[in-house]
Amino acid sequence: MSNPHSNSSFTLEAQTPLNGFNQSFDGIQVSELLGHSLVSMAMPEDKKSALAENIKAAYKTDLPEVGKFTISAIDNMRILGLQQEQCFVLFENEAVYKNGNAVSHIQEKTKDAAYLSDQSDSWAMLKISGENAISALERVCPINLQPTSDPSSFDTFSVTRTSMEYLGVIIMQLSKQGAENEYLLFSPRSSADSFLHMILTSIENVS
């Protein structure tokens, strides 16, 4: 051992971006999404079909189109189609989250067909739901969240990045049509406080 001074008596404690925020308002519930890992998955054009096969084999689901996400019961996983050549893989696996080995966990499934990068610590993640969620979100979100017959409408399984009050935000629609509105919102971790403030102000302004 060339590290004679090493001392593992130091331990690091993890914190979440929003300290586990969880609150209910009139017709709106807001809570931090906890225990989820996020991995960006870049897809080289010539390996896309291999990747799709690998994903199908491991997760029994497809790669999404841009603007949509696919789901798998395994690891409660969602693949978010954010870009033509890049997806985000969001999944819930307590051990993986704790160990911080999200990339190797996914790599086992994707093999060499994708380039992965850990994003688990890059985002503040909020779940917002309830009958008044849309009223609050329409104060900041330029995306049309109202259910419409339009093919381009932002309905179930939709995901996109947009900007809200000068913050970059990834928004996903979780609920089934007709059910209670439920959304996931991701925004960069360093501005987590501004992000939460933006959402809470919107709720305060409408409830």
Least distance from C-beta 60 to another protein, angstroms? Answer: 26
Least distance from C-beta 73 to another protein, angstroms? Answer: 26
| Nearer of residues 87 and 174 to another protein, judged by Cβ | 87
Pick from 86, 107, 156, 175 the residue near another protein by CB under 8 A.
86
| Nearer of residues 29 and 86 to another protein, judged by Cβ | 86
Rg of the chain on CA atoms, in Å: 18
Q: What are the angstrom distances between the C-alpha of 155 and each of 8, 55, 71, 160, 187?
A: 49, 24, 15, 11, 20
The two three-digit tokens of residue 96, written as one number: 């993986």
Spatial distance between the Cα atoms of 61 and 76, rounded to a whole number of angstroms = 12
Contact 100, 120 (CB under 8 A): yes
The two three-digit tokens of residue 25, written as one number: 């308002």
| Nearer of residues 77 and 159 to another protein, judged by Cβ | 159
The two three-digit tokens of residue 108, written as one number: 């086992």
| Nearer of residues 15 and 73 to another protein, judged by Cβ | 15
| Nearer of residues 74 and 89 to another protein, judged by Cβ | 89
Pick from 8, 95, 177, 178 the residue near another protein by CB under 8 A.
8
Contact 32, 21 (CB under 8 A): yes
**Angle subtended at Cα 196 by Cα 101 and Cα 188, rounded to the nearest 5 degrees:** 40
Compute how many other C-beta atoms are within 10 angstroms of the C-beta atom of residue 94: 11
Q: Restricting to residues 14-53, which ones interact with another protein according to CB under 8 A?
A: 14-17, 40, 42, 44-46
Q: Restricting to residues 103-142, which ones interact with another protein according to CB under 8 A?
A: 115, 117-123, 138-142
Least distance from C-beta 158 to another protein, angstroms? Answer: 10
Show the binding pattern over residues 162-191: x = contacts another protein (CB under 8 A), - = does not: xx-xxxx-------------------xxxx
Pick from 12, 73, 95, 178 the residue near another protein by CB under 8 A.
12
